[in-house]
Amino acid sequence: MEKEKQQVKAVVVAGGKGKRMGASCHKQYIMLHNKPVLAHTLQVFQDCTEIEEIVLVVGEGEVEFCQKEILDKYQLSKVARVVEGGKERFHSVYNGLVAIDNCSIVLIHDGARPFVKEEIILNSIMEAQREGAVIVGVPVKDTIKIINDNMEVANTPARKTLWAIQTPQTFRYSLLREAYDKNQWDESITDDASLMEKVGQRVKVIMGDYENIKLTTPDDLLIAEKILMKGEEN
């Protein structure tokens, strides 16, 4: 008997205001090579054959704008629903999850992280099917110091144990949804993997990409331009 194909869907979270960017619009709508950052991000998932559907989570009052200026304009047909986010990222992800139907594997991705590669998405899906929960990241390059309230070094953790975590974070939908249903008011959770850790789920880490940056400050935009130029040269 042929194994039933799993339903793979993505929640792209783009509800942040991006105050550190210092721009006149939210960071996900900043133009990057004549195209909004969010459109770059969504295009990667649009082009990935394993992704059946995308749910986009945006800020309050931005649903109509996104539909017209992002989805329609750039023909991003895999975005099946656009929903408003909540007070914190935790609430926004939950709003995206409840908007999904018939899903086996779900990827949660930052809307301001436009350089994720299809290979990372595919590897994440494959590992999540086996492990249930998987995140991507890269080993840190700098020595990290833990400091106390007096700005004194309290501890120096071993660098080989430290990874900078990126998105997508990918899960069996049933596992993540159950965890959110039980903890939907816990604002101390800063990412989906932290929630899974809290409920006792083992989380696998796979190699990401140092170019898979989240655009947060003006310096990140300069780096983004360089990444795009390098891609065009190749």
- Give me the DSSP letters along 165-177: EEEEEEEEHHHHH
With a cut of 90, say whether residue 58 has pLDDT above it.
yes
| Predicted pLDDT of residue 1 | 42
Question: Is 21's pLDDT higher than 50?
Answer: no
**Could you state, in order of their start, the residue ranges of all structural domains in the chain?**
8-233
Residue 117 structure tokens = 């590669």
Q: What is the DSSP string of 86-116?
A: -SSHHHHHHHHHHT--S-SEEEEEETT-TT-
Q: 137 vs 41, 93, 208, CA distance in Å?
A: 18, 20, 5
H helices then E strands: how many in the chain? Answer: 7, 9
Under the banding of pLDDT at 50, 70 and 90, the label for residue 20 is very low
Count the Cβ atoms, other than its own, within 10 Å of residue 25: 12
Homologous superfamily (CATH) for 8-233: Spore Coat Polysaccharide Biosynthesis Protein SpsA; Chain A (3.90.550.10)
Structure tokens, 201 = 């789920």
pLDDT bin (cut points 50, 70, 90) of residue 88 is: confident
pLDDT at 46 over 90: yes
Identify the DSSP state of 36: B
Coil, helix or strand at residue 72: helix
For the chain, the average pLDDT equals: 91
Q: What is the pTM of this model?
A: 0.92
- Return d(Cα 53, Cα 211) in angstroms, integer: 25
